Amino acid sequence: MVKKYLDKIRPNFEEGGKLSAFRSVFDGMETFLLVPNATSRVGVSIHDAIDSKRIMSFVVIALLPALLFGMYNIGYQNAAAAGMLEQTSFIEMFFYGLLVMLPRIIVSYGVGLGIEFVVAQWKKEEIQEGYLVSGLLIPMICPVSTPLWMMALAVAFAVIFAKEIYGGTGMNIFNPALIARAFLFFAYPTSMSGDACWVATESFCGLGHNVVDGFTAATPLGIAAAGQAVNFAETSTFVGLIPGSVGETSVIAIAIGAALLLVTKIASWRTMGSVFVGGAVVAWLFNIAGMETNVVANIPWYEHLATGGFCFGAVFMATDPVTSARTEKGQFIYGFLIGVVAITVRVLNPGYPEGMMLAILLMNMFAPLIDYVFVQRNINMRLNRVKK
Amino acid sequence: MSQLFSKENKEIFSSPLNLNNPVTVQVLGICSALAVTVQLEPAIVMGLSVTVITAFANVIISLLRKTVPNRIRIIVQLVVVATLVTLVSQVLKAYAYDVSVQLSVYVGLIITNCILMGRLEAFAMQNGPWASFLDGVGSGLGYAWILVAVGFVRELFGAGTLLGIQVIPDVCYEWGYANNGMMTMPAMALIIVGCIIWATRAINDKK
C-alpha cells in the first residue's frame, strides 16, 4: 500500500516535476519505508538484507528503554523537588516527562534533518540517514533544562561542523551528538553542569509542579567533585532515579538497549566490554592509590561504572561504527583507553565532574591511528610469511 | 604620479586583501589571529601594528636589498623588524596602555610573524621601495581585516559587546539569551577563520 502511494506521487519529484525541489526528501522517505529499489548495475555485488537505515532504526529502538525511563525520571525528579512525591501518580510523572522531552526531540530532529535536507538538495545527493540516531541522542545526553534555542544551535553546529564539512554520514571523525554536547558544555557551562540544571522546575500543560526558585540538585559526580561524600545508595544509581542527563541515569534501561545492540551485532562487544574493563581497572587503581583528600578517587570502582554517563557512553556512543576503531584488536585498545581516560578525567580534574564525553571525543581522534597500526602490523606479518 | 598608482602597483596592493590573503590563502599568522581576537579592540590595534611594521620593514629592506650580503640577510631582516616592533610596542605603551597590556607578548611576537618574514623574503628583496611599501600595506591590511572580522564575531557573541560597549540589549538576556562561552576560546577562533576561508573561497571560485 505504501509502495503504491509512493509510486503514485513519484512523478512530482522527478526532474521537472512541480515538487522537484523536494526530491531528496522523497528519496529519503521512500528508502526509509521500503527497501531501496535501485540496485547496483555494475558487476556482481552482495547485499545484506539490512542497510544502514535499518541499522539506525535498531539503534533507535535500543535507545527507547533509556528514553522512556528518562521521561519517567524527569517527572519523578520534578515531583521529588516539589516535595509532592506521594501525591503524584506514575502516569502523571511519565506524561510530564513526555511533554518536557517532546519539544526537545522535535527541535533536535527538525533542525538537524532540516540542515541535512538542505545540504542533500544542494549537493544533489541522497539524504543521509545518519542523523536519525544523533537526533535522538542529543536530547538524551543533555540536562533537561537546556533551553531549546541552545539545543537548536548546538545541533546546527554539530551537523555542519562535525559532519557535513567532513562529507556527511560515514565520513565524520567525531561523534556528532557528542560534539553537540561538547559545544553546549563549553559555550554555556552554567546550563550544562553544576547543580541548577538537572531538574525540570516548571509545570507544563497542567502537569508537574512549579518548584521554588533557586532549587538545586547535583548529580552524584557533581557532589563528589565538590568534595562532599556521596550517599546515594547503589540501587539508586542502578535503577536511575537520580538527577542527571535524561538518558544516562538508569543502568537497567541502558542494559536492555545494550543487550539488543549486542544480539543484533550492531554494536561491537569488543568496544563495549573493553570500555568497562578500562574504567574498572583505573577506578580500582585510584581506589587503592590512597588519595584521601580526593573524594572522587575513593568512589568504589563498581559505583564509578554505574554513575554519570559512563554506561550510556559505553553502550551508545563509544560503539558508533563510524567513529570507533574498526579493526578487531583495535577495538579492544580503543574501548579500553576510553574507559581509562574517562575515569582519569573524573578523578584528577575537579573542573570536569564527568569525563566520558571528553574521553570518547579524544579517542575518536585516535581511532584511525589505532586502525592504521593494526592494519600495518597485519600487512607486515603477511609480508614476512611470503618472504619466508 | 600616474606611475605610482599604475595597474601593476594597484594589483600589488589589492591582491593580498583577497585573492592572495596572508591568512585565508597562505595560512600564515594564524597563532596571533587566534590569540588576540577575543575582543575587537585588540584585534584592530594588532592589525594596524602589523600593517605599519610590514610596510616599513618592507621599505627598509627594499632599500638595503642590494647592499645586504646574501648569507646574513635573515639576520638583517630580523634586526630591522625587531627595531620596528620595539618602536610600535613603545608607542602602544605610551598611548594605548590598556590595549598593550591585553596584547601582552603578542606585540613582541610580531617579530616571529610569518607574514613579515614571508613578505621580506619574497617581495622586498626583489622589488623597489614603493612597490614594497604597497605590498606591505596590502599584506598588513589583508591580515588586519581577517583579525577584525574574527574579533567582531567573537566579541559580539562571546561577550555581547563591541569595542567594550554592550550591543545586545538586556531584553534578550531576560528572554533567556546567554553569551556563548565557546567564542572566548581559541578553538572557536579557528573555526571562525575556517568559515571565513570557506566563504572567501566560495566567492572567489565563482569569479
Mean pLDDT of B40-66: 88
Q: With an 8 Å Cβ cutoff, are B178 and A161 in contact?
A: no
Q: What is the ipTM of this complex?
A: 0.76
Pair B29, B53: CB distance under 8 Å? no
Distance CA A280, CA A275 (A): 9
DSSP string for residues in A4-66: HHHHHHHHHHSTTSTTGGGHHHHHHHHHHHS--S----SS-----S--HHHHHHHHHHHHHHH
Nearest Cα of chain B lies from the Cα of A190 at a distance, in angstroms, of 10
pLDDT of residue A242: 72
Q: With an 8 Å Cβ cutoff, are A187 and B180 in contact?
A: yes
| Facing A189 at nearest CB: one of B181, B183, B191 | B181
Phi, psi dihedrals of residue B53, rounded to the nearest 5°: -65, -45
pLDDT of residue A89: 74
How does pLDDT run across B14-35, given as a tens digit for each residue? 777 777 777 777 777 777 778 8
Buried b or exposed e, range B186-204, using 16+ CB within 10 angstroms: eebbebbbebbbeebeeee
Q: How confident is the model at residue B114 (pLDDT cuts 50, 70, 90)?
A: confident
The torsion defined by the Cα of B123, B128, B131 and B132, in degrees rounded to 10, comes to 50
Nearest Cα of chain B lies from the Cα of A163 at a distance, in angstroms, of 14
Distance CA B41, CA B159 (A): 13
Would you give the DSSP letter of residue A378?
A: H
Distance CA A374, CA A362 (A): 19
How does pLDDT run across A229-262, given as a tens digit for each residue? 555 555 566 666 777 777 777 788 888 888 888 8
By a Cβ cutoff of 8 Å, what residues of chain B touch chain A?
176-178, 180-183, 185, 187, 191
Q: Which of A240-244, A372-376, B76-80 has the lowest mean pLDDT?
A: A240-244
pLDDT of residue A52: 67
Summary mean pLDDT of chain A: 75
B192: closest chain A residue by CA: A161
Nearest Cα of chain B lies from the Cα of A187 at a distance, in angstroms, of 4
Rg of chain B over CA atoms, in angstroms? Answer: 19
Buried b or exposed e, range B168-179, using 16+ CB within 10 angstroms: eeeeeeeeebbb
pLDDT of residue A247: 73
CA proximity to A49, closest of A264, A227, A300: A264
Residue A65, CB-side half-sphere exposure with 13 Å CA sphere: 20
Q: Inform me whether the C-beta atom of residue A187 falls under 8 Å from chain B C-beta atoms.
A: yes
Q: pLDDT exceeding 90 applies to what percent of chain B?
A: 0
Q: With an 8 Å Cβ cutoff, are A183 and B183 in contact?
A: no
DSSP string for residues in A238-291: HHT-SSSSTTTS-HHHHHHHHHHHHHTT-S-HHHHHHHHHHHHHHHHHHHHHT-
Residue at B198: amino acid letter = W
Mean pLDDT of A190-207: 59
Question: H/E/C letters for each residue in B182-206?
Answer: HHHCHHHHHHHHHHHHHHHHHHHHH
A160: closest chain B residue by CA: B195
How does pLDDT run across B159-202, given as a tens digit for each residue? 777 777 777 777 777 776 777 777 878 888 888 888 888 888 88
| Facing A161 at nearest CB: one of B178, B181, B191 | B191
Pair B150, B43: CB distance under 8 Å? yes
* Domain spans of chain B, in order of start: 28-206
Distance CA B149, CA B158 (A): 14
Q: With an 8 Å Cβ cutoff, are B183 and A186 in contact?
A: no
Mean pLDDT of B56-61: 90
A 10 A CB-CB count for A156 gives 16
pLDDT of residue A167: 76
Distance CA B180, CA B192 (A): 14
Pair B145, B17: CB distance under 8 Å? yes
pLDDT of residue A358: 87
Q: pLDDT exceeding 70 applies to what percent of chain A?
A: 67
Q: Which residues pair with A204 in a beta bridge?
A: A207
pLDDT at residue B1 is higher than 50: no
| Facing B178 at nearest CB: one of A183, A186, A188 | A188
Choice between A338 and A121, residue whose per-residue pLDDT is larger: A338
pLDDT at residue A30 is higher than 70: no
Nearest Cα of chain A lies from the Cα of B183 at a distance, in angstroms, of 7
Partners of B199 on chain A (C-beta within 8 Å) are none
| Facing A187 at nearest CB: one of B176, B177, B181 | B181
CA proximity to A154, closest of A108, A190, A196, A200: A108
B190: closest chain A residue by CA: A161
B180: closest chain A residue by CA: A187
Question: What is the reported pTM?
Answer: 0.78
Take residue A339 and report the three cell numbers written for it.
574507559
Q: pLDDT exceeding 70 applies to what percent of chain B?
A: 97
Pair A75, A94: CB distance under 8 Å? yes
Summary mean pLDDT of chain B: 82
CA proximity to B33, closest of B115, B96, B100, B156: B115
CA angle A168, A172, A174 (to 5 degrees): 140
pLDDT of residue A219: 64
